[in-house]
Amino acid sequence: MSHDTYKDLMMGYLDGELTELEAQRVEQHLEGCAECREELESFRKLKEMTQPMRLAMPDDAYWERYWSSVYNRLERRAGWILLSIGLIAVTSYYVYQLAARLVLNPGVATPVRFGVAALIIGLCTLFVSVLRERIVLLRSDKYKRIRR
């Protein structure tokens, strides 16, 4: 077993997390290694120093409200999705009506008709592109690249 492995095992020894056999091996190593003995002692003091300390936690009332807060966020998100779908549908309908009137109306100047047609085709292309990207993202796990 390498010296570095013993350094890692020393943590388990300090925290009482090793099996009896592992603990015996560490003790044997410590007998012959002054560096590790010294290091173990300084880690023991560090542990003793932080033993009476705990992470400051929000009060109990907050933990009681925690789930309801998550639930509200879940509901709110569903509300936003529905609102967005509604807005897109209504806006699309009126944009289509307006565009059809302009593009199909021979009374409107040709450059304006071409401009409006290009605008609509551009918007549709962008929408399809974004939609395709979102679908690809939804199919893949975007969290898999995160290292632990």
Partner 1 sequence: MRPTDEASIIERCQKGDKEAFALIVKKYMKPAYYVALSYVGREDDALDLSQDAFVNAFRHLKRFDSTRSFFPWFYSILKNLCMNHLVRVRRHKEDSLDQMEEECGQVPIAIAAADPEAAMVSQDLREKVGAALARLKAKDREILILQHLQDLSYREIADLLGIPIGTVMSRLYAARHALRRELERMGVSN
Shortest approach of partner 1 to residue 71 CB, angstroms?
A: 7
Shortest approach of partner 1 to residue 77 CB, angstroms?
A: 6
> Nearer to partner 1 by C-beta: 18 or 103?
18
Q: How far apart are CA 123 and CA 139, in angstroms?
A: 24
Q: How far apart are CA 122 and CA 144, in angstroms?
A: 34
Q: What is the longest distance spanned by two Cα atoms in the chain?
A: 99
List binders of partner 1 among 16-75 (CB under 8 A): 17, 42-43, 45-58, 62-63, 66-67, 69-71, 73-74
Q: Which residues contact 18 (CB under 8 A, 6 or more apart)?
A: 9, 12, 26
> Nearer to partner 1 by C-beta: 10 or 116?
10
First vs last Cα of the chain: how many Å apart? 26
List binders of partner 1 among 68-127 (CB under 8 A): 69-71, 73-74, 77
> Nearer to partner 1 by C-beta: 55 or 109?
55
Q: Is 85 exposed, middle or buried (0-12, 13-18, 19+ CB in 10 A)?
A: exposed
Residues that bind partner 1 (CB under 8 A): 7-12, 15, 17, 42-43, 45-58, 62-63, 66-67, 69-71, 73-74, 77, 141-144, 146, 148
